Amino acid sequence: MKCPSCGSFDSKVTDSRPVEDGGSIRRRRECLQCGRRFTTYETLEQKNLLVVKKDQSRELFSHEKLRNGIIAACHKRPVSAAQIEGVVARVEQQAYNSLQEEISTRCIGELVMDELKHLDDVAYIRFASVYRQFTDLPTFLTEMHKLLEEKGPHNSTQSNQ
């Protein structure tokens, strides 16, 4: 690593720590030429992931688009920023772990809905209504009934408390 002070390429690592998100490592280095200490960050290089849209067009995977869609679904819900970031990180991780160069919007949508289903029922229904393009009330109600059936005994326990 090149020293920012003298330009020497000889340095030693004095300390390494993972950064909060776990996606990178912070390293303290000491230049062997001038003795100055400096910090570097090491991150895993992600390959580009293409998202295949419904019309078969392709665009680069966007962390921000994913995050914004989840934030919209969770608007005015008791879901913390940390929980939202957790959902984004897990979905993104699953998308990249597929080891494919392309992933469909359908697959991404299903990953998000699976995460939201376990996080907040209303956020799940909101996301599903946009993702699955609910066009009428019966479609909306059908999805709600499916969710209630899946959560059946759990919901009745909560309502009795």
**pLDDT tens string 31-73:** 999 999 999 988 776 678 999 998 999 999 999 999 999 999 9
5-37 per-position pLDDT tens digit? 999 999 999 999 988 766 789 999 999 999 999
Q: Quote the CA–CA distance of 93 and 103 in Å, as a whole number.
A: 12
Q: CA 70: distance to chain centroid?
A: 9
Please give the model's pTM, rounded to 2 decimal places: 0.62
Burial class (CB in 10 A: 0-12, 13-18, 19+), 41: exposed
pLDDT at 147 over 90: no
pLDDT tops 60 at residue 159: no
Please tell me the distance from the alpha carbon of residue 100 to that of residue 110, in angstroms, as a whole number. Answer: 17
Residue 100 pLDDT: 85
Higher pLDDT, 1 or 73: 73
Going by C-alpha positions, the residue among 83, 54, 62, 60 that lies closest to residue 71 is 83
What's the mean pLDDT in 64-87? 93
| Residue-level pLDDT at 161 | 34
Q: Tally Cβ neighbours within 10 Å of residue 29.
A: 18
